[in-house]
Chain A
Amino acid sequence: MCAVGCGSPAPQQRLVSVWAMGREGEVIAQLLPQFRKLHPDIEVKIQQLPWTAAHQKLLTGFAGDATPDLCQLGNTWIPEFVALKALAPLNQNLARSVRVQASDYFPGIWDTNIIGGTLYGVPWYIDTRLLFYRRDLLAEAGFADPPRSWEEWSRMLAAIKARVGPERYSVLLPLDEFAPLLVLAIQQPEPLLREDGRYGNFRSPGFRRALAFYREMFQRQWAPPIAGTQISNVWDELGRGYYSFYISGPWNIGEFKRRLPPEQQGTWMTAPMPGPDGPGASLAGGSSLVIFRRSRHKEDAWLLLEFLSSPEIQQRFYQLTGDLPPRRSTWGAPELASNVYAHAFREQLERVKPTPKVPEWERIVTDMRLMAERVVHGDLSVEEGATDLDRDVDAILQKRRWLLSRGVTP
């Protein structure tokens, strides 16, 4: 039988275990031969986590003392793992590093990795959300350019819906994703939590406006009230014109390029998010590379982190995944500069806002999504939804308030 410490190596063996999600997990493996040339004595073991179970697996891993050395972590999860004291601070490594230069990173993204003045992660790729849309269908509806404001966008959505009829829609907002509503919410002037993250702020006029707009898109049947898992294939369905707008992230540039047939390649484009009044903000999302505090191979893990962060490797990573790099110097590369679909992301990156840095954030957005689903189904009004959510969020943050009141920084 496999006894205690099964699978953990003897200390003299240089082995770095890595957890990465979804496609990125596969791609790291392809980049490794180059790393092995540089460091032939370091062995790397990669485990792929499915995105849907990643957060949970990470927490279970932490709870069970089974965390890896190096890990890909959604940057909104960093506060949570910092609160758990699970992550190693990286300031010293950074100070000594030649390859990782803070000034080369987009500041909005870099900032999400800093909690209480300490650096806990290095951005790996950027994941902001914006519009993917069907240029041709928009033109047929009488609009040459993508929307800049909600008002313009509404007119376009209405015009497209009028053309495509009851069987098809203008926009896809999957009910099992929180990002679309969160993007609308983050464009508002009010913060989503108030008093240093002690209470929810979802009854603010801004959030209610975002929620009302979100609901309107379903009520007017611009958006189908379905979950992403019920669409067998989001790419084909955009190609078929089942919807014309889709809020999604950079990884889908590659997917659309690959999955849509050549004759449809000219029909789709990306555009920055429209805002309530003019160009809007979007999420400062992305994945970072972190090193776990319990790791016994921190230095080797940092070597791998540096390798993955170097501009040359980031370029290859971009080629393989389409994930957008967080470093300005990588954006100068010809492949990226010539990618017309990436331009909108470059523009959007100038307008990204971080979400509140509280450990409970993942749970809060999950609750927000569930509430929004009920509002869409008509079980709750916008008012009720906002009130309910604030009540739930206040309950979730109760422990945080207690810790803060005792002078503990969660």
Chain B
Amino acid sequence: MSTTGARVLLHTLLLGAAAIALFPLLWMLSVSFMAGGEASAFPPPLLPGHGTLANYRQLFGQQNIGRYLTNSLWLAAMTTLLSLLFNSLAGYAFAKLRFRGREPILKVLLAALVIPSQVAMLPLFLMMKWLGLVNTYAAVVVPAMAGIFGVFLVRQYALTIPDELLEAARIDGASEARIFVSIVLPALRPILVTLGVFTFLGSWNDFMWPLIVLTDQDLYTLPIALAQLSREHVPDNELMMAGAVLTVLPVLVLFLSLQRYYIRGILMGSVKG
């Protein structure tokens, strides 16, 4: 096969695959601008007859979606900030500071990575009940403040910080806290962005746990609200699509702007550490 021929074939395949990957998302966007009931026709329309913002207006007006949007943002931001703090402290300690029990603890943590989180979910609920945290944001944020994956991600990166740098600071009489703030944190910046994007997306997209612990409608996150809408308003196709757009858009934008960091996280996470 000639190079040109191969190139044409290759790009045909790529464009086909890209169409499959993007089509549902573009269609979602298109239907969200259709009038109620317009999409339930045969053949299914691809573009709105005359675009309308009615669905978005209804979502923000009657369905209170602004509130869920704020809830999701607030929860994801809280979780991200706290988990960055906790994980970076621990990840650095495990990489660079010697202390008794470090190796055994690391081994236990590594082994625990294989336990699916759902195993812990049922007793965790009872625990939240006893702590009086069911139906509060704390129930969502607190368990996510630190994670084994996050600790390892930071640790792996922190291993690359040269020891001499830390030693020099110690000889200069800097406290450990000071070293962490002025040397370690700046050095860790790239991986913290990565972890931040990961945590934010994970928290934004999380479904099962918030579904269980948040009973008050005013506390719902976007995915929970959307799932509830979609179970109750089965015929309101177009409304649902507008809700989906609002749920997906923020994370897509975040991903597009910080893509590099996100992909590094995947690669580090998939290499045995």
* Contact yes or no, A7 B213, CB < 8 A: no
Q: Which residues of A contact B133 (CB under 8 A)?
A: 4
| Chain B minimum-CB-distance residue to A22 | B232
**Is A57 part of the contact surface with B, judged by Cβ < 8 Å?**
yes
What's the minimum C-beta distance from A232 to chain B, rounded to whole angstroms?
Answer: 6
Binding-face segment, A59-67, A166-174, A390-398? A59-67
**Is A117 part of the contact surface with B, judged by Cβ < 8 Å?**
no
Binding-face segment, A44-52, A216-224, A279-287? A44-52
**Is A1 part of the contact surface with B, judged by Cβ < 8 Å?**
yes
Binding-face segment, B2-10, B101-109, B135-143? B135-143
* Contact yes or no, B215 A64, CB < 8 A: yes
Known: A60-B212, A64-B128. A50 touches B228 (CB 8 A): yes
* Contact yes or no, A52 B231, CB < 8 A: yes
**Is A144 part of the contact surface with B, judged by Cβ < 8 Å?**
no
Chain A 1-33 residues near chain B, CB threshold 8 A:
1-7, 22
* Contact yes or no, B134 A66, CB < 8 A: yes
* Contact yes or no, A7 B216, CB < 8 A: yes
Best-buried of A51, A53, A229 by chain B (most CB within 10 Å): A53
* Contact yes or no, B125 A63, CB < 8 A: yes
Known: A2-B138, A5-B132, A50-B231. A60 touches B216 (CB 8 A): no
Known: A2-B137, A4-B133. A48 touches B40 (CB 8 A): no
What's the minimum C-beta distance from A340 to chain B, rounded to whole angstroms?
Answer: 28
Q: Which residues of A contact B213 (CB under 8 A)?
A: 64
A6 to B140 alpha-carbon distance, docked (Å) = 14
**Is B256 part of the contact surface with A, judged by Cβ < 8 Å?**
no
**Is B182 part of the contact surface with A, judged by Cβ < 8 Å?**
no
**Is B235 part of the contact surface with A, judged by Cβ < 8 Å?**
yes
A66 to B232 alpha-carbon distance, docked (Å) = 23
Best-buried of A50, A60, A229 by chain B (most CB within 10 Å): A60
* Contact yes or no, A6 B235, CB < 8 A: no
Known: A63-B125, A232-B40, A233-B235. A48 touches B217 (CB 8 A): yes
A57 to B219 alpha-carbon distance, docked (Å) = 14
* Contact yes or no, A65 B212, CB < 8 A: no
A7 to B135 alpha-carbon distance, docked (Å) = 9
* Contact yes or no, A7 B218, CB < 8 A: yes
* Contact yes or no, A66 B234, CB < 8 A: no
Interface string of B188-231 (1 = CB under 8 A from A): 00000000000000000000000011011111000000001001
* Contact yes or no, A66 B216, CB < 8 A: yes
* Contact yes or no, A4 B136, CB < 8 A: yes
* Contact yes or no, A65 B137, CB < 8 A: no
Q: Which residues of A contact B216 (CB under 8 A)?
A: 7, 47, 66
User: B234 is contacted by which of A22, A53, A61, A232 (Cβ under 8 Å)?
Assistant: A232
* Contact yes or no, A6 B231, CB < 8 A: no
* Contact yes or no, B234 A57, CB < 8 A: no
A254 to B40 alpha-carbon distance, docked (Å) = 24
**Is B242 part of the contact surface with A, judged by Cβ < 8 Å?**
no
Best-buried of B129, B132, B135 by chain A (most CB within 10 Å): B135
Q: Which residues of A contact B129 (CB under 8 A)?
A: 63-65
Q: Which residues of B contact A52 (CB under 8 A)?
A: 231-232
**Is B154 part of the contact surface with A, judged by Cβ < 8 Å?**
no
**Is B78 part of the contact surface with A, judged by Cβ < 8 Å?**
yes
| Chain B minimum-CB-distance residue to A6 | B136
A52 to B271 alpha-carbon distance, docked (Å) = 43
A233 to B236 alpha-carbon distance, docked (Å) = 11
* Contact yes or no, A66 B137, CB < 8 A: no
| Chain B minimum-CB-distance residue to A49 | B217
User: A50 is contacted by which of B78, B232, B235 (Cβ under 8 Å)?
Assistant: B232
User: A229 is contacted by which of B131, B138, B234 (Cβ under 8 Å)?
Assistant: B234
* Contact yes or no, B125 A6, CB < 8 A: no
Q: Which residues of A contact B131 (CB under 8 A)?
A: 4
What's the minimum C-beta distance from B62 to chain A, rounded to whole angstroms?
Answer: 10
Q: Which residues of A contact B134 (CB under 8 A)?
A: 60, 63-66
Chain A 140-160 residues near chain B, CB threshold 8 A:
none
A178 to B9 alpha-carbon distance, docked (Å) = 54
What's the minimum C-beta distance from A73 to chain B, rounded to whole angstroms?
Answer: 16
Q: Which residues of A contact B212 (CB under 8 A)?
A: 60
Best-buried of A6, A52, A63, A64 by chain B (most CB within 10 Å): A64
Best-buried of B125, B131, B133, B235 by chain A (most CB within 10 Å): B133
Q: Which residues of B contact A4 (CB under 8 A)?
A: 131-133, 136, 138
| Chain A minimum-CB-distance residue to B229 | A50
* Contact yes or no, A232 B235, CB < 8 A: yes
What's the minimum C-beta distance from A224 to chain B, rounded to whole angstroms?
Answer: 17
| Chain B minimum-CB-distance residue to A66 | B135
A47 to B135 alpha-carbon distance, docked (Å) = 14
Residue numbers of A with Cβ under 8 A of B are 1-7, 22, 47-48, 50-53, 57, 60-61, 63-66, 229, 232-233
Q: Which 8 pairs of residues, A with B, have the shortest CB-CB distance? A: A64-B134, A66-B135, A50-B232, A2-B137, A4-B132, A6-B136, A66-B215, A61-B215
Q: A50-B228, A63-B125 are in contact. List 14 more A-B contacts (CB 8 A).
A: A1-B78, A1-B141, A2-B138, A4-B138, A6-B135, A7-B216, A47-B216, A53-B231, A57-B215, A64-B215, A65-B132, A66-B135, A229-B234, A233-B235
Residue numbers of B with Cβ under 8 A of A are 40, 78, 125, 128-129, 131-138, 141, 212-213, 215-219, 228, 231-232, 234-235
Pull 30 A–B residue pairs with CB atoms less than 8 Å apart, ordered by A: A1-B137, A1-B141, A2-B136, A2-B138, A3-B136, A4-B131, A4-B136, A6-B135, A6-B136, A7-B216, A7-B218, A47-B216, A47-B217, A50-B231, A50-B232, A53-B228, A53-B231, A60-B212, A60-B215, A64-B134, A64-B135, A64-B213, A65-B129, A65-B132, A65-B134, A66-B134, A66-B135, A229-B234, A232-B234, A233-B235
